[in-house]
Amino acid sequence: MSASSLLSQPSSSPATEMHPGHAVRSDIDILMTTEGTYPFVTGGVSTWAHQLVTGLSEKRFVVYSVVANTNMAARYESPPNLAHVVQVPLWGTEDNAEFNPRPGWIARRMRRPGRRFDEEFLPAYAQLVVSVALGEGGPEDLVAALCALSVYAERFSLKLAMRDGRTWRLFRDALAAHPLYRKLTTYEAIDLARSVYRYLAPLDYPPELPGIVHASAAAFCAIPAVVLRERFGIPFLLTEHGVYYRERLLSLGRTRTNSPYRVFLSNFYAAVVAMSYSCADLVAPVARFNASWEMRLGVEESKIHPMPNGVDPERFPLERPAGSGDGPLTLVAVARLERLKDIHTLLRAFSIVRGRIDGIRLLIHGPESDAAYARSCYALAEQLALGESCVFKGPTADVGRALNEGDIAVLSSISEGFPFASVEALMAGRPMVATEVGGVPEVIVPPYGKLVAPGRPLELADAICAMAADRSNLARLGELGRQAMLESYTLEVFLDGYRGLYDEVRTRVPHR
Amino acid sequence: MTKYGPVSPIVDVPRVSPVAGVARSLDELRTESSVFDDLHVEARRVLDRNPEPRNLRDVAVALESMGYTTTGARALGFNTVFDLALTVFDLTYLYYVPRTEEVPEEVPTWRRFADDYLAGSWYGVPWIMSIVVLFVGRVALWSSLNATPQVAAMVSLAFFLAAVVAGACSQMLARRGTFYYLQKNYPLVRWVVARFLVYGVATGLLAIAVAYAVYVVPVYGLHLGEIFAEFAVAIFAFLLSAAPLYMLRRFYTLALATSLALVVTLAGAYLFSGDTNDVRHAQLLGLAVGSGAMVVIAASYLALRTDVDSGLGASVTVVKPPALRVVLWHSAPYGVYGLAYFVMILVSPLVVGLAYGRGLGVDQYLYPSTYQGSVAIALLELVVLLGLVHASIERFGRRLMPLLERHTLDRWAQARRALRREWIRSVGLVVVASGVVAWALPPLLLQVLPPSLTAAVRSPGGLLALEVAAYGFAMVPVGMLCSQYLFFLGRPTPALFGAVAGALTSTMATALLVHGGDIALGAWGLLAGTTVYAVITGLGSYRVLAAGEESFYASF
């Protein structure tokens, strides 16, 4: 049976059916969905999530964490109002029931779907393939497909349905009929079909019904939010840190795969992003910069409410004024060692700065998020003969103290959402030189900040030298920066903002 | 976006400037400073980041990662990065360079096969070493023993029970442990090893205790029962502790540990050979086997510490484990397969021993030394054939992905044909090789082995049993290879059915055949069981491989 013939069949439209009997009403206020971040990975998004959950102690949260695999350890202490964490590994399991043995998992596996496979699963899967791979139809088609699949997954094994020969043949024939995808190798096509199953894993982890569902990215972690919104009318708030679609494209550009393979995946990401935007009642980017991408990707302007992050000023005290003391001037960077932070540019810039300012040092605080990239950073530092002037200090639990070790903070990222690192540095009284990416320009403004284009070591070095030239002025710049942050980017402002957004998103959904 | 969206940009913003011209070298372009030429340079740089941009957004992402912001775009006369991207995208096709595939160095087929054969042979090394050394060393585990038939019966029963239970546990551990080990998911490797070993040991001890209390002691008495329990525990510990080494593919460690264990066992055997009390002698020998098992346990422990614990870091205490019941559910078919497999190949002498006992007027298992000797010699052919089985499956694993990559999606039918040919070639080779070995090896062994070891086998009944058992064991590698195909493709059910049907057939056919008193006919029961196993797994694996890419897809 082909995808098109299945789509032409009259459908009972299971996507719009309400199945309250299968869902568990709960006392959970907020279901927060994350992807590859909180509470298993440290970083900006996780800090944001932890601050929100901890700060809104009057609300009960469940965190629904989509992660790459099962080898994940929680990195944050669970606050009392966090009821539990649902861990949703996309890979590394043989059966989704391993991490979600909800009642009836054996029955779902043993139960034969019979005609419901043909009448419900296959048409929904065909709709999904057409929406995702061929780029036909709108977000509403993908939403309908996902809702139908989620209904099916309540009674039957999604895995067995996905493994079925008819499912594969539908996928294969749909792609083999396409002028571009037919040039996929058979192995690539299999890999893609399996990836579809893996990416749909959230359908096998139906959450309790919360008051509000809050997705932290327009990504696969938004799938449960979309299903909750469409099937149960749960208000859906979407926060975007980086623009997921943009980051996936950057990542795909680096893969050594054939064109049709990358096209399929980028179409898949685009479809999921568009679906998330379409279903969200409110979109709250952490920076106005994201809004430009979001509007270009189809979000109505009226839905967009930028909501910058905040930090706790007490965690970033001004212990030592910038530039004070007789020691050598010190640059400080707080960044994970990964490609998006472009540490290579920082090292190259520092190599230039060393030639101009005697004795200057660079301290880099941050974990090795990407081991291979971290190795390349160490190798580059050695190649540039930076010696002891550049120190990779590893992860730190006390970012405030780490920042106080430096006089000028530096950020060399090629992509940022909301730049926590910038706010934290300024809050700690460090003037900053940063790259003009993402939401950075919204935080880093003269005179306490200088912006340069990303990926340009010479420009970065020039800006650092310009700022370092007047060492006696650094303390004043740092104080100005701190004052600016205290006015706009405190935790209080941030939490009040989200209280307002949660109230607002409720009013956008008619009570059902 | 068009129907085939990826091929053209989204034209949703006005063009800023018309672009035309002929591409020149990058160096040429760099020497000029006009915007037009800068755009060419950037088009080429975009392709460095994304070799095949599909649309405006792809290009915008690349430009941003190159440092373009609104400020940068304005410097070139565009309002936004998206405006700039639209123009640059029009130029990218000029700089598209088709990728050249790296052709891997060709390795001669014979060399590949030899490597695979040797690698595959490592799987059987502990078995081979144990059989050969204990056989040649004339330690009282096989027909060559100089112990009494009662003691030999105890050792034989203990070996049967230990192998069957350890086989089940080892299969489950191997399957799930390897699943996590290949993902480098060390916390869960450790979790699964700990669970499966603990539950495996508990199951083994329970089985041994039940057999001891319900059958062995009531039938043979307390002293012989103790020998049974002692050997069963020692052999079970030996076999189960080797499972993590298999999982970690630590074949050298396994060979070394087995060697040391055998040295300990042989040393014990010779040390205690002066003891004239049969029971006490056997007890001391059991102690030596247990000591040998300790060596393998130690080796396993050290290997796990080296390979797994070192990768754990600080996360071991906080990683959430999967639900054990779900893991057990998915591992159970492999456990049942392991159990049935060992029953199938070991049950025949057991059934023959019971018939032998009845023939002598006692309702108990008696050690059938002649039959056991024939079966033990026939079993030696697996020494040669195991390597071939594993070589075939290694080769399959290595060839499958390139084969599927060679065929584009519109040529999936050719991929299926290629897989069918692969099955026919590999299974055919194993069938032929097994037949030849079954035909040639037993007579050869009878000539080579010392007459004192083979004297009992040379009787007419012994020779018949040897000849038939040789063909019976020749079926095992065929079924084993077909089962491996099925496991590889995530379809354990036909293998499970094959092994269970083989075990049942082997048991019932042997019982029926020896019912009349001619125990040499028991070998036909073995042959029937292994043939059923080979046929069912063969049909199952052919069906699965014939479905080609569909089966590989469904193996997740």
For testing contact with chain A, the best of B48, B65, B178 (most A CBs within 10 A) = B65
Q: Of A503 and B108, which is predicted with more confidence?
A: A503
Collapse the DSSP code of A113 into the 3-class scheme (helix H, G, I; strand E, B; otherwise coil) and give the result: coil
What is the spatial distance between Cα B509 and Cα B501, in angstroms, rounded to a whole number?
Answer: 11
Closest CB to A92: pick one of B65, B183, B326: B183
Lowest average pLDDT, out of A403-407, B22-26, B368-372, B415-419, goes to: B22-26
Nearest-Cα residue of chain B relative to residue A265: B6
Mean pLDDT of B462-490: 95
Give the closest residue to A426 by CA, choosing from A477, A356, A354, A385: A477
Structure tokens at B504: 């049942």
What is the spatial distance between Cα A456 and Cα B208, in angstroms, rounded to a whole number?
Answer: 72
Distance to chain B for A335, nearest Cα, Å:
17
A437 to B69: CB separation less than 8 angstroms, yes or no: yes
Closest CB to A253: pick one of B6, B62, B72: B62
Q: Is B79 on the interface with A (CB under 8 A)?
A: no
pLDDT of amino acid A220: 96
What is the pTM (predicted TM-score) of this model?
0.84
DSSP string, A87-99: EEESSS-S-GGGS
Judged on CB neighbours under 10 Å (0-12, 13-18, 19+), B361 is exposed
State the ipTM, two decimals: 0.83
Mean pLDDT of A57-82: 94
How do residues B501-543 score in pLDDT, each as one tens digit? 999 999 999 999 999 889 999 999 999 999 999 999 999 999 9
Say whether pLDDT at B283 is over 70.
Answer: yes
- From chain B, the residues in CB contact with A73 under 8 A are 187, 315, 318-319
Distance to chain A for B176, nearest Cα, Å:
9
pLDDT of amino acid B104: 64
Q: Is B361 on the interface with A (CB under 8 A)?
A: no
Collapse the DSSP code of A456 into the 3-class scheme (helix H, G, I; strand E, B; otherwise coil) and give the result: coil
User: What single-letter amino acid sits at B316?
Assistant: V
For testing contact with chain B, the best of A64, A71, A269, A416 (most B CBs within 10 A) = A71
Distance of CA B463 to the CA centre of its chain: 34
> How confident is residue A83, by pLDDT bands cut at 50, 70 and 90?
very high
Structure tokens at A124: 């929904």
Lowest average pLDDT, out of A133-142, A185-194, B410-419, goes to: A133-142
> How confident is residue A120, by pLDDT bands cut at 50, 70 and 90?
very high
pLDDT of amino acid B390: 85
What is the spatial distance between Cα A318 and Cα A322, in angstroms, rounded to a whole number?
Answer: 9
Q: Which residues of A208-232 are buried (b: 16+ CB within 10 A; e: fewer)?
A: bbbbbbbbbbbbbbbbbbbbbbbbb
What is the spatial distance between Cα A402 and Cα A397, in angstroms, rounded to a whole number?
Answer: 9
What is the spatial distance between Cα B187 and Cα B321, in angstroms, rounded to a whole number?
Answer: 8
Nearest-Cα residue of chain B relative to residue A454: B67
Q: Which residues of B508-544 are buried (b: 16+ CB within 10 A; e: fewer)?
A: ebbbebbeeeebbbbbbbbbbbbbbbbbbbbebbbeb
Phi-psi label, residue B83: left if phi above 0, alpha if psi -120 to 50, beta otherwise: alpha
Distance to chain B for A452, nearest Cα, Å:
9
What is the spatial distance between Cα A78 and Cα B320, in angstroms, rounded to a whole number?
Answer: 14
What is the spatial distance between Cα B300 and Cα B425, in angstroms, rounded to a whole number?
Answer: 37
Phi-psi label, residue A213: left if phi above 0, alpha if psi -120 to 50, beta otherwise: beta
CA dihedral B205→B206→B207→B210, nearest 10 degrees, is: 120
How do residues A220-257 score in pLDDT, each as one tens digit? 999 999 999 999 999 999 998 877 887 888 778 777 77
Backbone φ and ψ of B477, nearest 5°: -60, -30
Distance of CA B351 to the CA centre of its chain: 29
CA distances from A135 to A7, A126, A129, A417, B521 (A): 15, 13, 9, 27, 68
A453 to B72: CB separation less than 8 angstroms, yes or no: yes
B54 to A263: CB separation less than 8 angstroms, yes or no: yes
CA distances from A281 to A219, B4, B94, B184, B431 (A): 16, 31, 43, 41, 65
Structure tokens at B436: 């030849």
pLDDT of amino acid B200: 95
Nearest-Cα residue of chain B relative to residue A105: B326
Residue A84: count other Cβ atoms within 10 Å of its Cβ.
12
Which residues lie across from A89 on neighbouring strands? A67
